[in-house]
Structure formats: C-alpha cells, structure tokens
C-alpha cells in the first residue's frame, strides 16, 4: 500500500517549497528511485524543470517534462493536468492542491506543505482523504 509523507515547511515562499521539492527529488534519484513530479500547469512544470537544473553546481538529476509525443525514459519525470506517468514509478511528489487520481500506483507519495494558508488548508483536506482510506501517513516538520 502507498505510504504518504507530509513535509511541513515554515516558509510561505513558493521558491522555498520548490527548492525543498528539488532536494527531495535529488535524494530519491540518488537512492535509485524513479520520481514523478506532479504540478499545476505547464508554467509550473517549466519552473520545476529549471529549478532541477539549478539545484547545486555539483548535482545532476536527469529529468524531463512529459509531452504527448515524447519518449519519457528519464528517471525523473515532470507532468501536470491529466498527464499520468507513462510507466510505473516509485515516488510521486505532488505539488498540486489535490491528490491526483493515479497516486495509489506509487510506493510513496510526498506532499509538500508550506505555511501559506491556502496550501495548508488544501493539505489538511488531502491528509484527511488519505487517512480515511487507511493509507500509511507520516509527517515531517522541516
């Protein structure tokens, strides 16, 4: 069964949430896991794509944005909207305000919640959703 981890950030800045997501993805990649990052829209996907290139000067995380006609063989994929991963992957990093319908195909789901009221409220709803359905939950204060 899918394990869901909530990461609670003290910052309200979107850049801090994005930076934490990139560090989490980098760590999972270096542990040999395949990661799918789910974003709100094409602009958000492009922002995450750029951020992954700039994590650290000595870091490299091979990744790509899913496009309808692309060959998606990178270990880290970025998608939005109704895009679903083209194959089974290990970790879902959800950067949207609702749980994707396909979340249960992953071993792990990472929900990153910052101190923004709107993001916190949406995170509470997702937490309740997962808990009511019996998913294993853990919370980490960052």
Q: Which two tokens stand for residue 142?
A: 């960052």
d(CA 139, CA 120) in angstroms, rounded, equals 13
Q: What is the pLDDT of residues 75-125, one digit of tens each?
A: 999 999 887 888 899 999 999 999 999 999 999 999 999 999 999 999 999
pTM of the entire structure? 0.92
Residue 142's pLDDT band (cuts 50, 70, 90) = confident
d(CA 59, CA 35) in angstroms, rounded, equals 16
Helices (H) and strands (E) in the chain, counts: 3, 7
pLDDT at 70 over 70: no
Q: What's the CATH number for 3-141?
A: 3.40.50.10110
> In the chain, what are the domain boundaries?
3-141
- The angle at the Cα of 46, spanning 41 to 48, to the nearest 5 degrees, equals 95
d(CA 68, CA 105) in angstroms, rounded, equals 20
pLDDT of residue 14: 84
Query: How far does CA 98 lie from the centroid of its chain?
Result: 12
pLDDT of residue 17: 92
């Amino acid at each position: 069964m899918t394990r869901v981890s909530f990461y609670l950030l003290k910052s309200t800045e979107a850049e801090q949430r994005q930076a934490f997501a990139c560090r989490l993805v980098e760590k999972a990649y270096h542990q040999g896991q395949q990661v799918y990052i789910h974003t709100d829209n094409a602009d958000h996907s492009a922002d995450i794509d750029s951020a992954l290139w700039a994590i650290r000067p000595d870091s490299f995380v091979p990744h790509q944005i899913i496009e309808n006609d692309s060959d998606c063989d990178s270990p880290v994929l970025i998608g939005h909207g109704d895009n679903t991963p083209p194959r089974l992957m290990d970790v879902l990093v959800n950067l949207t305000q609702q749980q994707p319908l396909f979340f249960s195909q992953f071993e792990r789901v990472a929900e990153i919640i910052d101190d923004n009221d709107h993001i916190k409220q949406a995170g509470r709803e997702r937490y309740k959703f997962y808990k009511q359905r019996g998913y294993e939950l853990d919370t980490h204060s960052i």
